[in-house]
Structure 1
């Protein structure tokens, strides 16, 4: 199955990644991608930039190296209420928002606490995808999370980096997420979680899991350009409506 977008990439701005946007775009082109989401860590992650950095992504060209650039962020889930870690207006004009639990920001707790935090993030509607939900540091009630994502139409990420050392023990959890996503019709997105350009568009482990589970291409929003663009536009409209209502 083809994958046309990498929805989880980091640049030197994340503080612990090592390539530029241009270097990542070159790697995306070499990997045969059509779209690349720039999703540096949001401001509460140690070493990450001030939220003005994300507002100013408007200076990034729409196309680099022939690859369409989606201006985005990997936001931090801050609490059980599913609050994210930048002012609401910052998210208004972003193309893509990953929301993730990270140990330096959200202290690992119980399965119930993690599940509540992710479900409320899904329901809040600002995030387009939940990043690396298979992280074993944050055990969840997988069925509850998948059902919530399916109901709200929010994508769950299959994160290639999680299979390759960054989150040891993720494989079986991601496998269960994929199986339940197939059962309940939840949407899936694909992220390399690259912190160096060589990993942009690397989806070998994710492809293997998709094939093993037999996920339909219709559930993989990055499987074709039309599906991806439809999802991004729909989510942008919904996010803007939600944020404007909260800011009024």
Structure 2
């Protein structure tokens, strides 16, 4: 499947990534992207920036090297109540919010607790996508969470770094299962490289392979075109971005 938007990338601001936003944009263009989301880790993650970093994203240009830049964050799911670590003042500066489990922030627990946390995160209305759900350390009720995500129009991320098999070991088969079930339930999928170095921005080959193998139709994949991605933001209630009206 052709994918033109990478919705999960990091800069050195995350504390354990190694490239600048400009470097990421240049490689996004080189790798054929039309748009990418910059989604550094929110502040509960060790090494992550202060919330001012995200509140100040309003200063970022809408295009770098002719590639559209979506202002975002990868937030941390904090508890079973579904709270995330995005400061209330930051939302007005953000276009895109991912929520993910990370072991340093949410200590792996049991299946019921993880399921409750994900469902409450979805229902909060504060997040646009759930990140790298394949991690076996955070087992959950696939059907309950995916049905909830479909109901509330929260996208399910298929993460290219996860599919390499050397990160979040044991995730690959689970990702295929999540994708197959999500296809059946009509969820929206998003695609992220989870790049921590610029050369990986736009590297979505394993994601594309998975989507094709499972047979997910392009209308369920919000990153198949920039128009689909922007339409999803509108569905989520986001304000139109005037600079992107011709995309």
Q: Which residue of 1 aligns with 2:244?
A: none
Q: Secondary structure at the match of 1:83?
A: coil
Q: Measure how far apart 1:225 and its partner are.
A: 1.8
Give the distance between the partners of 2:177 and 2:144, measured in 1 at CA. Answer: 12
Matches within 5 A, 1:109-188: 109-164=109-164, 165-188=166-189
Q: Which residue of 2 aligns with 1:207?
A: 208
Give the distance between the partners of 1:2 and 1:86, measured in 2 at CA. Answer: 32
Q: Which residue of 2 aligns with 1:237?
A: 238
TM-score w.r.t. the length of structure 1 is: 0.94
Q: Secondary structure at the match of 1:39?
A: strand
Q: String of CA shifts for 1:80-132, please: whole Å, max 9, x gaps.
A: 01001122221233111000010000000001101110111111111110000
Q: Measure how far apart 1:52 and its partner are.
A: 0.2
Consecutive unaligned residues of structure 2, counting only runs of 5 or more, are 240-247
1:96 matched to 2:108? The reply is no
Q: Which residue of 2 aligns with 1:228?
A: 229
Q: Which residue of 1 aligns with 2:71?
A: 71
Residues 58 and 93, structure 2, Cα contact 8 Å, conserved in 1: no
Q: String of CA shifts for 1:37-74, please: whole Å, max 9, x gaps.
A: 00000001000000000011112111001100001000
Q: Secondary structure at the match of 1:8?
A: coil
Residues 99 and 127, structure 2, Cα contact 8 Å, conserved in 1: yes
Aligned CA-pair RMSD: 1.0
Q: Which residue of 2 aligns with 1:20?
A: 20
Tell me whether 174-183 or 224-233 shows the greater mean CA deviation. Answer: 224-233
Q: Which residue of 2 aligns with 1:81?
A: 81
TM-score w.r.t. the length of structure 2 is: 0.94
Q: Which residue of 1 aligns with 2:217?
A: 216
Tell me whether 86-95 or 70-79 shows the greater mean CA deviation. Answer: 86-95
Q: String of CA shifts for 1:174-230, please: whole Å, max 9, x gaps.
A: 011100111100010000000000110111111111011000000000001211111
Residues 95 and 236, structure 1, Cα contact 8 Å, conserved in 2: no
Please list every run of at least 4 consecutive aligned residues from structure 1 whose deviation after the TM superposition is greater than 4 angstroms: none
Q: Secondary structure at the match of 1:40?
A: strand
Length, aligned pairs only: 238
Give the distance between the partners of 1:236 and 1:21, measured in 2 at CA. Answer: 26
Q: Measure how far apart 1:236 and its partner are.
A: 4.3
Q: Secondary structure at the match of 1:24?
A: helix
